[in-house]
A and B are shown apart, each in its own frame.
Chain A
């Protein structure tokens, strides 16, 4: 049961990617030599969803099927939760789509394997609720597994129904959207959409705003597979999955008998797809160094290792920390006595015990100064921090992470608009979203200082404490980054694009390290432009409006995320999490909120607002930390 033993059983190799819930690392189980994937979830970055994470784990841990990603263990290290899963090296269904659409034979195999997985889940009384290509993982040998149980639900009664509004809009069954109560058949619909996604490169209505999709799906007739190149069986299979009346929609078991499925080939054939993608990746990417896992702060932080200490508590060296409350009305002896009798000595009690009097009130006051308050993470470089006050600083540094945006998995192509929807990328093309600042985190490791991006415990951004720094950061978020994105999008030539992305990288490195300097630079640039009469005519400020490009046409920033409806109750907690965002950003965001005059959607505004609210509400499981 020792948690420490749990963590030391694994050697963490390098990062595989990151999603809304945390970063995933590749690791080796030292006892068996087996390769595993470990998801690190920073619990400090989530306001209230420890329970949600736990429910995902409990669903996962009750599944053992070759068609479902196998859960192995989970344990806590400080405020990081490690979830150990089987390692699947073939990538997700979505990854396989990147080089191009799949052919019918491949789709048939994937569909059969998914049906087997769904058959298992449904028989177990579980509904996945978020079947889509991004949630399908492949092993290197081509085995197909259902993954991501972030929204899966356990029905206690096999015939009971659910009313919760979750999933990803494009893949949602009509009955889910209508909240008429749904059961496991909802997954079959999503499977049909996934099949269309794999063959067409995206789900139906991919170019439509997700909010609008929410009433297109129930209103319109079910999508069909079109095109003479596809077989009749395939078309029929899709039609069977996409029966709008869920009572007439066949079950996974029934669909396994469908001709399209029965004639599907072996999973080994999928290895072609995996190879194709590897080739594609190799051809496209600028060389990027794998991000290795560095334990540094994690290890040094005693809080991380407290579980063992919790059981066999050794004496702890008294901490020399002057910023303590004064409880000197209290008889010291009583507290001390209580400490000794209590099995677990508490950190806070220790403070009260040892240091209460050591510190003069004045010094304590000084310590309370913003620079050193535990809430403030403006701090010297991490190395100093580690040595300085080993005891608490590491996690203080860490505190930046709840508010800092996560580093998106699509690090390798910084200027590529990240189309990710939710916690994993999706094939949806245009999506209204709002930056979460994460572009700053996209500094490629080969350009920026390596330590900056590799260490997950360190905020990738320098601290925005001064006004100049805040402005500098704003300059980057509002002007530099979107401009880069836009110019990059307009540039055709590969060499030019590369040069441009290097510049963008360099600039984001500057932003990460020295926003103040960034601001000064910008200021100087503008002054110089204005002082030059010729240039100031051509570069008139009124033309530099790239910052607020319409979201429909130019998704501005990668790693952006979904906006919650303004009246959504979860927005409050959402805001809390976003609290480090600059206030100016917020206004921007609100202006971008759905329901506020979206071109082409005015006629549906009211209904849309309601639906969007419900949708966003139901999706809170999905983006708890969004």
Chain B
């Protein structure tokens, strides 16, 4: 973009959003290539208004009028929707524009208040966030959309919007923050559930980027996520186990086992954890991970397996599986990842598990305590 360098924007800042909107609407028509180029220029100008250059500072007044203009023209939505159709450099510009606009607070506003455009999106135009997620539908838009999303996900409200988006629910489209009903089960058609496909089936870049966003969604705002996972326990873990943990994609598999361990071991997810380790099927999946030919998969699997064994209130199903395989497990664990001789924590944990399994009563015992979550859920 060096050709734009040092040049003052020709168009008045106020008119830029309108101009961009027109250019986007013409992307389909005749002369689309020329329009795309014009749009690229407009976006370039908007970027310079927002971030200034290394030499010139940007002015808050100009940014303010640009942001309000963008809200008026619904440009954030249009940009998110058409991100993949923009030229290479423009996609990066659009990413910068999003980042600045969604972070911008007028100089008069309190630094703790929600940035004005973000607040608008959350309360009035949640489709912007949904469309940013849909950026993963295209290789071209995945990285810029992902970068914007991960920044936006620092806001708990934005996280909730994406998690609870559900097109089937009542009126068409999302309703913003006020429309969220945390107790209602998800249909699985919301945008959040598409992440499983993106992660499992995408190319390496796309899949890894989507996974980063997915992880942020599930780890940044713990209370929201704990509630969400409790409500949608079966839907979530069915998908998680079949599509991610048992994915054929090495990176997906390894990363998702690791994330599973992190989710389960997070104190905020205690109820989810007890429910998870209660199920025999989950243990089976996990024990097969220990036998995966790839060491890092075994290693990550171990950190989930230990939760089952360490659970003082093992369910009958879990006890049965462990008891049937007791001798084999003891023998197996004795030599499990033997060459991790310097990983003291791992060695300690392995010893602990061996002890736990060895000391199990010979027949399954009814657990003294059952997972709270399962009381209310279908088993």
Contacts and interface: CB of A to CB of B under 8 A. Distances in A.
B53 to A, nearest CB: 8
A325 B328 contact: yes
A351 interface: yes
Interface string B105-121: 00000000000000000
A32 interface: no
A44 B294 CA distance: 7
Contacts of A579: 337, 339-343
Contacts of B155: none
23 contacts: A1-B201, A62-B92, A122-B54, A156-B99, A158-B51, A306-B249, A307-B248, A307-B249, A310-B247, A310-B248, A310-B249, A324-B291, A325-B284, A326-B324, A348-B289, A349-B288, A351-B288, A368-B328, A370-B335, A374-B293, A376-B335, A402-B296, A579-B337
A325 B293 contact: no
Given A309-B248, A348-B289, A50 B208 contact: yes
Residue of B96, B317, B340 most packed against chain A (CB within 10 A)? B340
Given A325-B287, A351-B288, A395-B294, A580 B339 contact: yes
Given A348-B292, A351-B288, 19 more contacts: A1-B202, A1-B203, A3-B204, A43-B296, A50-B208, A54-B209, A76-B250, A76-B251, A125-B96, A157-B100, A344-B247, A348-B285, A368-B328, A368-B331, A373-B332, A374-B291, A374-B298, A399-B295, A576-B346
Contacts of A280: none
B110 to A, nearest CB: 20
Contact of B324 (A124, A323, A329, A395): A329
Contacts of B203: 1, 3, 6, 74-75
B294 A348 contact: no
A252 to B, nearest CB: 9
B212 interface: yes
A123 B52 CA distance: 11
Interface in A338-388: 342, 344, 346-349, 351-352, 361, 364-365, 368, 370, 373-376
Given A329-B320, A348-B291, A44 B328 contact: no
A140 interface: no
Contacts of B242: 342, 344, 346
A532 interface: no
B176 interface: no
A218 interface: no
Given A156-B99, A583-B341, A399 B294 contact: yes
Contacts of B212: 51, 54
Contact of A575 (B54, B250, B321, B342): B342
A292 interface: no
B339 A403 contact: yes
Interface string B258-278: 000000000000000000000
B377 interface: no
A235 interface: no
B51 A375 contact: no
Contacts of B249: 76, 306-307, 310
A365 B284 contact: no
Contacts of B89: 64
Contact of B293 (A64, A251, A399): A399
Contacts, number: 198
Contacts of A496: none
A157 B51 contact: yes
Interface in B330-352: 331-332, 335-346
Contacts of B328: 325-326, 361, 364-365, 368
Contacts of B251: 43, 50, 76, 81
B37 interface: no
B88 A64 contact: yes
Contact of A61 (B205, B317, B335, B345): B205
A537 interface: no
A71 B89 CA distance: 15
Given A50-B251, A579-B341, A375 B298 contact: yes
Most chain-A CB neighbours within 10 Å: which of B88, B247, B284?
A: B284
Interface string A21-61: 00000000000000000000001101100110010011001
A253 B54 contact: yes
Nearest to B285: A348
Contacts of B295: 44, 375, 399, 402
Nearest to A124: B92
A123 B1 contact: yes
Contact of A348 (B208, B246, B280): B246
Contact of A58 (B54, B143, B317, B338): B143
Interface in B195-230: 200-206, 208-209, 212
Interface string A68-111: 00000011101101000000000000000000000000000000
A348 to B, nearest CB: 3
B165 interface: no
B276 to A, nearest CB: 17
A311 interface: yes
A205 to B, nearest CB: 31
B331 A365 contact: yes
Given A54-B209, A342-B242, A576-B342, A78 B250 contact: yes
Nearest to A252: B54
A396 interface: yes
Q: Which of A157, A325, A579 has the largest count of B CB atoms less than 10 A from its CB?
A: A325
Given A123-B2, A124-B92, A399-B295, A50 B255 contact: yes
